[in-house]
Amino acid sequence: MREPIRVKDLDPTLREELAGLLNGYDFSNCLTCGMCTAGCIYSDLHKDQDPRKFIRKVALGMREEAENDPFIWNCTMCNRCTVECPMGVNMNALTRAFRGKVERAPGYLQVIADDHIRTGNQMGVEQIDFDETLEWIEEMLQEDLKDPTYKIPLDVPNADFFFGFNAREIKHYPADLQSILNVFHAAGANFTISSKRWDATNICLFTGKDDEFAEISRPMFEEAERLNAKEIIVTECGHAFRSTRVFARDYWQGKPMPVRHIMELYADWIKDGTIKLDKTRNTIPVTLHDPCNTVRKEGVVDPQRYVLSHAVMDFREMTPNREHNICCGAGGGAGAVAESKEMRMIKAKPKVDQLLATGAKIGCIPCHNCMDQFVDMNRHYKLGMKMMHLTALVETAMGLMDEDKQFSH
């Protein structure tokens, strides 16, 4: 039996402290109705995953219990609970505030942050490796395009957009970056990539360290301002997109810098005729995952569906979808927390059920962090599916790649 809660042990200053960390946000309108727990798809899958219990500890001032609650790091910060909350209590913000109170984040989270501060990217890619990878991609595109003069536009001033991407696209998946650049070339895009600060990700979106969050994102914005780009376009990565948007909205003091997702760019290009797609080139049934940071938190819901409706013959929605779609199970930095793979695969089961219910053979996963989780669940549950980014399907529909030669993860 649990020890009774004693008033003398409660700390009434906890609420004020958190309000300071959250810029005055007050969560006292919580009704303790339990809709957050009902909305959390993981609350019944493993222990210490009950948002209602956690927020009550916070509201009551149970400082020690709240600060040491495993929920803080078990939570994927997907905010599905907030979608269900009748009072709109932002559990993602509350969880992040508690994470920021610890001295050092668990697993590899702090290592990733330290590497990003040291090298300018989350994967610790050194400058020589970045340069050589771009050179290799450039040579591949010159061969594919049959144009020996093709050059990746580095440090070009006054471009229509500055392209920020994920370090995985340099270190592990250069073919993804090659596909994007192939589409950009076919669209005649006027864009640039910085030779120095190009990684749009920021792991401190999950660690809660605001000072390190600013230190990581500011140099990329300074590069975009130096090059006088009109806006920043972010690659298929939910956390890179959201962290860039958050920095632009809440931290950046320089030239106003709009931030858009690459899916929004593709949708605009299709609408104005910049690129022309033939959906008959993609015949295999496709379903779409909604990354939490892109859809639920930043409200980019329709562009990806517009693109898919023009890019594939057979698009099948998951149920539920859009802002009610289910987190992949690896959000909130879960993929970087040590010994978390077993838990990630437990959390993957609801998403696996969603995938199988569609009967689709391709999962369109417009997020690198989610992609890593989908690749793992594909193997673990022996789904036999192809996991692809949206760009690969666009590239095929444009006639730049044959369907049977598509790159998948």
Domain ranges of the chain: 7-99, 109-267, 276-405
Q: How many angstroms separate the CA atoms of 27 and 19, rounded?
A: 8
C-beta separation of 314 from 285 below 8 A: yes
Count of Cβ atoms closer than 10 Å to residue 248 Cβ: 19
Kindly state the tokens that stand for 33. 């109705």
Torsion angle of alpha carbons 43, 48, 50, 54, nearest 10°?
A: -170
Residue 14 dihedral angles phi and psi, to the nearest 5°: -60, -40
Q: How many angstroms separate the CA atoms of 367 and 388, rounded?
A: 10
For the 276-405 domain, the top CATH level (class) is alpha beta
Nearest alpha-carbon partner for 265 in 256, 275, 251: 275
Q: How many angstroms separate the CA atoms of 156 and 187, rounded?
A: 17
- Give the pLDDT of the chain (409 residues) as one tens digit per residue: 566 666 566 778 888 888 777 776 667 778 888 888 888 888 888 888 888 999 888 888 888 888 889 999 989 999 999 988 888 888 888 899 889 988 888 888 999 999 999 999 999 999 999 999 999 999 999 999 999 999 999 999 999 999 999 999 999 999 999 999 999 999 999 999 999 999 999 999 999 999 999 999 999 999 999 999 999 999 999 999 999 999 999 999 999 999 999 999 999 999 999 999 999 999 999 999 999 999 999 999 999 999 999 999 999 999 999 999 999 999 888 878 755 678 889 999 999 999 999 999 999 999 999 999 999 999 999 999 999 999 999 999 999 876 666 666 7
